[in-house]
Chains A and B, each alone.
Chain A
Amino acid sequence: MLTLENLSTSDPKVPLQSLSAHFEAGKIYTILGRTGAGKTELLRTLIGLDEISEGAVHLDGDDLLRTPIRARQMAMVYQQFINYPHLNVLDNVAFPLRRKGQGKAVARARAKEALALVGLAGFETRMPPELSGGQQQRVALARAIVKHARILLMDEPLANLDYKLREQLREEFPRLLHENAEGIILYSTTEPAEAMQLGDELIVMHEGRIVAQGDPGSLFDAPPTVDVARVISDPPISICAGEVTDGVLQFADGFLPGQADLILPPDGPVQIAIRPDALSIGGDIEARVSLAEFSGSDTIVHLNLPFGNAVMLVDGIHEFHNGDTLNVALDPNALMLFSQSGNNITERAD
């Protein structure tokens, strides 16, 4: 078990601020956050590349910070494809085993197995610069899993790959990471879908802090704060100003979203969060298209609504042009309410 206690750093770019968390062996933890949230800094601190200013890190009771990097039995896959350019693919993967003192033949045999696992059988004698980006990242991955590290850190490993490769590797990851099943896997990403798909547990980071940790599905359904809701939603969630007046929920300009099964808080200002699937085509709200983009087989439409700006997710490919007007419907039951300070105050009547 890996334990962080009030871990802080004085990193000039993104200082980590008093992080506390537990990580259990055999689980995949995805760390979700935007660029600059402190994901990379957290991983670098854990592996010993960045110094901490306060706090403690324990691995199965041992003080990890007193262990030199080379003895931490950790592995890392970087966002950039980092391999040893002077070694061929086989020796790249065998390198950590050789450093652990294993014989050349044994190390190479195990490296070969690891390469077969990541789909690179037959590439043993190639040099890394001769491989494509996806293949280079597979080599890095093979080198990480061949060690059977106690902690495997993956820092946005798919970020520099093209869309197709990203999907392909993402599908393979659960099987590959299973190879490291006895270890703790921390996987950082900026993509909510990736984090949801891979993680047994989700950690959301924002501005150097852990703002939420838990089951990915529950966090998505009920994000504890508006920051978490923003980080976890893709396409983006829209936040509009609103208030509860005489027990009725309305947007800031007086627009009434309609009857909902929400239990409303006492009268006062609130933030109303609109999920992209809360809006649909057809209905009586007049909207103007400000931007339309395709994502896979969906269309994401940015709308100017009478009560603010919001994003709508439409199934299928639809041609919308900037300035088009259309009528949309808002499902009041899909709304979430946040207090002015950003806490989730959504309560639903059963």
Chain B
Amino acid sequence: MRRTYQTAKYLCLLGWSTFVVFPFLWALSTSFKDANAVTSGATYIPWLEFEPSTKGWQSLFASGSQGINIVTPFINSTMVTLIASVISLILGTLAAYGLSRYQFRAGFVKNSDITFFFISQRIMPPIVLAIPFFLMLKEIGGLDTIAGLVLVYIALLLPIAVWVMIDFFGSIPPELDEMAMIDGCTPIGAFFRVILPNSVAGIVVAGMFCLIFGWNDFFFAFILTFTKTQLLPVAIVSLNSSVTPWWSLSAFALISVTPLALVAVVVERFMSRGSLAGAFR
């Protein structure tokens, strides 16, 4: 009985894993194909089903007109995502702490309204925000610049950071802040000395979300940039011309996924060591 259950469990997990991993497998095999292999049906196993070619990977690292410039979009994406994520995390953590510990009141506006205001930024479909963002960036000369994109991404990532951190601070008993103040901390001291060191888990999770959403955004990167400041998702799509070089595109896509995959592996290691396990019941 137990054996059957275990077998069924692993079969289910295997099926699901295959479903999840398949797109990567497809991209990996395609990145080693040439035009012929790509058009001759679905094949996956090199040498057996198709003759592997490194043309796709070579084109990424070749220089001159033959090559595709992946370095600049990679650096751009890294800068925009990192700067926007860090600023969003700092602002979001402070805002969330304030909202979770103090009661604000401005007329009919209360804490729950302010929290909703943050989250409501993500309720609107992005297309609604596109034109206002475009006009505003144009006004301040931020179109097609790193700084402009960082501003817009902060607006997009801040709600995520606030949302995750409010929830996290809610799980830390307020008695801990009170105890810190009784023991001689100022309210700000209590936050930095006691609450922040106990919030690493929440900050890591919020940071992960910010990185994922920032790194993967295509829509705003596409609308708000032209040629000077290109981000990775846009650079990948722009490979798509009259003849789509599926091999280069696949190699490019795999490279663009790598940083997030690395972050996920590191965070997972960190979490399984127990240092992020909840300290509070």
List the 9 closest pairs (A to B, CB-CB), nearest first. Answer: A99-B184, A85-B279, A96-B183, A86-B197, A69-B181, A82-B175, A70-B184, A82-B179, A86-B198
Contact of A70 (CB < 8 Å), options: B176, B181, B197, B198: B181
The contact string, 1 if C-beta is below 8 Å from chain B, for chain A 126-145, is: 00010000000000000100
What's the least CB distance linking B13 to chain A, in Å? 31
Contact across chains for B182 and A80 when beta carbons are under 8 A apart: no
Q: Is A104 an interface residue (CB 8 A)?
A: no
Please indicate the chain B residues that have their CB under 8 angstroms from the CB of A86 in the complex.
194, 197-198, 279
Contact across chains for B279 and A70 when beta carbons are under 8 A apart: no
Q: Is B185 an interface residue (CB 8 A)?
A: yes
Contact across chains for B183 and A95 when beta carbons are under 8 A apart: yes
Q: Is A76 an interface residue (CB 8 A)?
A: yes
Contact across chains for A47 and B198 when beta carbons are under 8 A apart: no
Number of B residues, CB within 8 Å of A: 18
Please indicate the chain A residues that have their CB under 8 angstroms from the CB of B175 in the complex.
78, 80, 82
Contact across chains for B182 and A74 when beta carbons are under 8 A apart: yes
Given A85-B198, A129-B279: A70 in contact with B173 (beta carbons within 8 A):
no
Contact across chains for B279 and A69 when beta carbons are under 8 A apart: no
Please indicate the chain B residues that have their CB under 8 angstroms from the CB of A100 in the complex.
184
What's the least CB distance linking A9 to chain B, in Å? 16
Please indicate the chain A residues that have their CB under 8 angstroms from the CB of B173 in the complex.
80, 82
What's the least CB distance linking B110 to chain A, in Å? 15
The residue in B176, B183, B184, B198 that gathers the most chain A C-beta atoms within 10 A of its C-beta is: B183
Contact across chains for B198 and A69 when beta carbons are under 8 A apart: no
**Within residues 32 to 83 of chain A, which ones have a CB less than 8 A from any CB in chain B?**
47, 49, 68-70, 72, 74-76, 78, 80, 82
Please indicate the chain B residues that have their CB under 8 angstroms from the CB of A96 in the complex.
183-184
What's the least CB distance linking B156 to chain A, in Å? 31
The contact string, 1 if C-beta is below 8 Å from chain A, for chain B 160-200, is: 00000000000001011011111111100100001001100
Query: 23 pairs across A/B with beta carbons < 8 Å?
Result: A49-B178, A68-B186, A69-B181, A69-B182, A70-B182, A70-B185, A70-B186, A74-B182, A76-B178, A76-B179, A78-B175, A80-B173, A82-B176, A84-B176, A84-B180, A85-B198, A85-B279, A86-B197, A95-B183, A96-B183, A96-B184, A99-B185, A100-B184
Number of A residues, CB within 8 Å of B: 22
What's the least CB distance linking A76 to chain B, in Å? 5
Q: Is B19 an interface residue (CB 8 A)?
A: no
Please indicate the chain A residues that have their CB under 8 angstroms from the CB of B189 in the complex.
99
In the complex, what residue of chain B is closest to A95 when comparing beta carbons? B183
Q: Is B280 an interface residue (CB 8 A)?
A: yes
Please list the residues of chain B having a beta carbon within 8 angstroms of any beta carbon in chain A. Answer: 173, 175-176, 178-186, 189, 194, 197-198, 279-280
* Docked CA distance A76–B180 (Å): 11
What's the least CB distance linking A181 to chain B, in Å? 20
Please indicate the chain A residues that have their CB under 8 angstroms from the CB of B279 in the complex.
85-86, 129
Please indicate the chain A residues that have their CB under 8 angstroms from the CB of B176 in the complex.
82, 84
In the complex, what residue of chain B is closest to A74 when comparing beta carbons? B182
* Docked CA distance A68–B182 (Å): 9
Contact of B182 (CB < 8 Å), options: A47, A84, A85, A129: A47
* Docked CA distance A318–B116 (Å): 61
* Docked CA distance A96–B190 (Å): 12
Please indicate the chain B residues that have their CB under 8 angstroms from the CB of A82 in the complex.
173, 175-176, 179
What's the least CB distance linking B195 to chain A, in Å? 10
Contact of B280 (CB < 8 Å), options: A72, A76, A85: A85
The residue in B178, B179, B180 that gathers the most chain A C-beta atoms within 10 A of its C-beta is: B179
